[in-house]
Amino acid sequence: MTTNVPLLQETGSTARDEGPLADAQAQLAAAVATLGYEPGLHELLARPRREMTVSIPLRRDDGSVEVLTGHRVQHNFSRGPAKGGVRYSPRVSLDEVRALAMWMTWKCALLDVPYGGAKGGITVDPRRYTRPEIERLTRRYTSEILPIIGPDKDVPAPDIGTDEQTMAWMMDTYSVSSGYTVPGVVTGKPVALGGSLGRASATSAGVVHIALAALEHRGITATRSTAAVQGFGKVGADAALFLAEAGVRVVAVSDQYGAVHQQDGLNIHTLQQHAAATGSVVGFPGAEAISGEELLTLDVDLLVPAAVEGVLTGANSRDVRARVIVEGANGPTTAEADRILADRDVLVVPDILANAGGVIVSYFEWVQSNQAYWWSRQEVDDRLARRMHTAWHHLLDAAAARGLTLREAATVTAVERVADAHRTRGLYP
């Protein structure tokens, strides 16, 4: 069903550790106050433009039927088609998807990509289902949200619990309904189906471009620095590898099962092989076992939270010893933690810049799919690096000019661009 939703938080309220939606709304409210926008424009920016919640009947391999719930939220499309990932996780809720869709709007605007923000997901633990069941689940979800997606409407991509195979199934389901192949309906596809070279590791590469720039900004030499990476999935594993290749000593990584620590530096290539063989970083030979919470407070130069939202909170942020935090995940730092870290002069590079490499190369893939013209890996990597470094320097300038933190400056810049697009287009009567 498609619904209009009320304003989800009083515009003047202050979010604490209440979840990602409260944090997203608080960030928007602060940006609106800085920009001096009227309440009507604030409300327009706070509300998702369109939401769809669907029931997904799934026939299990044993013949039984289970009904799951899926969502697709389109926060804003004033600057172009909606864009955002699809996640399969037991944590998925409508409020989480609303927050992630809003952050996607700001991310696309900050990086000057001609998209609005969207997000989708199914409340499901994909580890409990077979591959054929996941395929049926994906195809049914796609068919349910099919009326609101499309290469000129809303372009999904992989996220937590989904991958390029998931996108192949979504593309095929949409294409079968259309009667012809529509490669531009999703991004993050296999290269054989029109995916872009470099897309799979783009988010990780973008995180590392920004991490190295942030270390330099703080006067820290990369080859003499240490790092801890929370999360060893799509983003964290390659981010750890690229950091190590750049000369950073990665001393700890974690996943949902635990964390490992080695003060003289982990061999990330070998650790990736271990995780692929065992399903976890836990038990890596020669490393000390620590908890995921301990990893967040290690004495390192750089911390990369690259798992899920809300891991740095008011309860643990005073114990964080990293001098630079680069957000590989969406919303890993709560509003209260943000204030504490700012007071302690910890440089926090916000998610809407730090992990934007994925949406940038998704944009490149979308352009290539629509034009049926493919770029080399070197072209993709070079274009990504230029985009990330340009956005970084613009953000530093904006923060200095307004006397804001990087997150505040990023949100203000993005909100201003979206609001300008809306005002230029006008309000349809």
Active site residues: 119
Q: Which tokens is 146 given?
A: 């099919």
Residue 383: how many other CB atoms lie within 10 Å: 16
CA atoms of 359 and 364, how far apart (whole Å) = 9
> How far apart, in Å, are the Cα atoms of 146 and each of 3, 88, 241, 372?
16, 18, 37, 23
Q: Indicate the burial class of 293 (C-beta count within 10 angstroms; 0-12, 13-18, 19 or more).
A: middle
Q: Of 249, 206, 231, nearest to 351 (Cα)? A: 206
Tell the burial category of 209 from Cβ atoms under 10 Å away from its Cβ (0-12, 13-18, 19+).
Answer: buried
26 neighbors 336 (Cβ within 8 angstroms)? no
Give the Cα separation of 394 and 410 in Å (integer).
9
**Residue 10: CB atoms within 10 Å:** 9
The Cα–Cα gap between 318 and 244 comes to 27
Cβ neighbours for 299, distance < 8 A, ≥ 6 positions apart: 226, 321
Cβ pair 256, 224 in contact under 8 A: no
Q: Under a CB-based contact definition with an 8 Å cutoff, are residues 68 and 58 in contact?
A: yes
Angle between helices 268-278 and 236-245 (to 10 degrees): 160
